[in-house]
Amino acid sequence: MDQKHHRWNSIRYFQSAEYSQKFLKKCYEQISFPQAEVRSYDNCYPFMYYLEQGEIYYKQSTLCPVSIKPILLFYGFVHFIKAIILTEDPLYPQTTSVLAHGITSRKRKKQHYHFLQDEVKVQKNGLFSHFSNLMFHVEHIVGEKFKMEDLLVQIPELEEIFYVLLKRKTMFWFQQQQQLTIDEELLSHYHMSEGMLKNYLFEKLKGKAIWISEQTLQVPLMEEQLPIRWHLNHNKLALPTIRNQGNMIPEVLIHYALLYNLSMIARYETEWWIELLKNRTNEDYPIISSFINLTTDKSPCLLFNLLKKKMEL
């Protein structure tokens, strides 16, 4: 079955209050929450409604003009995140501080603005921070600024467009049996000796990969294992060629940051946004367009995978 259709069909499991309540209770017992039974009953309908509303936003985004797609995609994304948060935080939302977006974009210059050079900043409080801390324990990114280009080059499906438009190789692909060979080209991109790169990968992967020879790395699971990324359509693994601040951020957070910024542009920078869509003067348009097409399918897949792992506990 097509992955996209399978994903939406899987969400149907949670359109049963009885199943959702049992699922949430199991989640709360996993974190030793003392009132697992009561809170699972209280939260099962909000949990179901977040998923339902998120799906509606995503499906409507496929029917609307590209000018408003980022807005619908971002709000669909946010609703899925709220459902996932309820699996980890039975009392969500305890305070209004977790209701903000959790990241901000800088003021834009009217002339010579370039999306790839734009930045977002992670705030201490808000949905982004709360979600990322609960699911990935990345408290260290609070206060960090991330450039759009640094995030986009971490997405394996965008490798081809970066190479065609900007002549930038952004990924080293794993070959048969999920193996990566440490060759001179890879070492040159990372500016490391073979020993240093092997130590770097060993430290980052923390036992999630094995060396089957002196120069060949094998990863047993077909999923993102930072800094290794996962390609949705080809079901392949890749190691980004570029080391930057985005290297150790899960891709689901990358999609949040990019969608947030694009949705803010679509809402509040209307003149620049419509001119981009109509005039298409530089590489911003094809890269943004490619990301929007990709995230429509991949971001709900990344989010639902987080729920799927909890279903398997």
Give yes or no: residues 49 and 126 share one domain: yes
Q: Where are the beta strands (DSSP E) in the chain?
A: 103-105, 119-122, 145-147, 171-173, 179-181, 210-213, 216-218, 229-231, 236-240
Give yes or no: residues 150 and 163 share one domain: no
Among residues 178, 207, 240, the one where a domain terminates is 240
Among residues 240, 267, 302, the one where a domain terminates is 240
Q: For residue range 138-175, list pLDDT tens digits in order.
A: 878 888 999 999 999 999 999 999 999 999 999 999 99
Give yes or no: residues 207 and 256 share one domain: no
Give yes or no: residues 98 and 62 share one domain: yes
Give yes or no: residues 206 and 293 share one domain: no
Residue 2: pLDDT over 60: no
Residue 286: pLDDT over 50: yes
Among residues 180, 208, 240, the one where a domain terminates is 240
Q: For residue range 183-221, list pLDDT tens digits in order.
A: 999 999 999 999 999 999 988 898 788 889 888 999 988
Q: How confident is the model at residue 94 (pLDDT cuts 50, 70, 90)?
A: confident
For the segment 104-119, the average pLDDT, to the nearest whole number, is: 82
Give yes or no: residues 134 and 102 share one domain: yes
Give yes or no: residues 137 and 266 share one domain: yes
Give yes or no: residues 143 and 185 share one domain: no
Instruction: Report how many helices (DSSP H) and strands (DSSP E) the chain contains, helices first.
Output: 12, 9
pLDDT of residue 3: 55
**What backbone torsions phi and psi does residue 281 show, to the nearest 5 degrees?**
-75, -25
Query: What average pLDDT is seen over the chain?
Result: 91
Residue 291 CA, chain-centre distance (Å), reads 12
Residue 294: pLDDT over 90: yes
Query: Rounded to an integer, what distance in angstroms lies between the CA atom of residue 147 and that of residue 117?
Result: 6
Number of domains in the chain: 2
Give yes or no: residues 171 and 288 share one domain: no
Residue range(s) defining the domain that contains residue 211:
157-240
Give yes or no: residues 65 and 114 share one domain: yes
Residue 1: pLDDT over 50: no
Tell which residue, 111, 107, 139, has the closest CA to residue 124: 139
pLDDT of residue 75: 97
Give yes or no: residues 233 and 276 share one domain: no
**What's the predicted TM-score (pTM) here?**
0.95
Give yes or no: residues 265 and 148 share one domain: yes
